[in-house]
């Protein structure tokens, strides 16, 4: 994995982080960080993690994680045959992922994605996959590049199984 070319830390968002100068070029993602993220965290709707450029104390990017579920019928037979026949199976939702414009083109999005997958995999809460809802075709292409698979009836909704994530991190579980 390529690491950011600056001194960094990935940590939960808190009041000390300066969100006002974050601009990724996608207005809803900028607005979310500036206006909604703290409320979602307080209400335990989402966990938000920021990548901080420690050299200039600036948010280079962020992502959110939350619990979700997948209808068993939405998954392909090669996966469902290995799962219990519950109507819903637990998953982790990667709700948002954004990189400030000053840091785009440096692999920061992939770095944040890998950090989110690592946190999801290492969680003590059961989850059979990480799910994303791609905002557009460019985002879908980004996730497909990282092995995410589109749901058969929703091409902008994709998933990556924990089995595949385990292989990314060299684990056999």
Encoded tokens for 57: 């104390």
DSSP 8-state symbol, 101: G
> Distance (Å, rounded) from C-alpha 165 to C-alpha 162?
5
Residue of 32, 62, 143, 159 marked catalytic: 143
Token pair 């791609």: residue:
134
Residue 86 annotated as catalytic: no
- Rounded alpha-carbon distances, angstroms, from residue 28 to 6, 31, 94, 106, 144: 27, 5, 16, 22, 22
The secondary structure of the chain in percent helix, strand, coil, rounded to multiples of 5, reads 35, 30, 35
Which SS3 state, helix, strand or coil, does residue 156 take?
A: strand
- Catalytic positions: 143
């Amino acid at each position: 994995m390529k690491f950011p070319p600056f001194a960094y830390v990935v940590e939960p968002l808190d009041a000390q982080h300066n969100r006002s100068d974050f601009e990724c070029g996608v207005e809803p993602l900028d607005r979310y960080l500036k206006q909604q993220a703290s409320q979602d965290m307080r209400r335990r709707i989402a966990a938000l993690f920021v990548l901080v450029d420690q050299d200039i104390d600036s948010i280079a990017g962020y992502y959110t994680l939350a619990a979700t579920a997948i209808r068993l019928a939405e998954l392909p037979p090669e996966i469902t045959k290995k799962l219990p026949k519950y109507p819903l199976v637990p998953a982790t939702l990667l709700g948002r992922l954004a990189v400030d414009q000053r840091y785009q083109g440096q692999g920061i999005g992939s770095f944040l994605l890998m950090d989110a997958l690592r946190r999801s995999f290492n969680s003590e809460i059961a989850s059979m996959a990480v799910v994303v809802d791609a905002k557009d075709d460019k985002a879908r292409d980004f996730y497909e590049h990282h092995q995410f698979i589109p749901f058969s009836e929703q091409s902008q909704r994709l998933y990556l199984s924990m089995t595949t994530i385990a292989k990314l991190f060299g684990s056999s579980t």
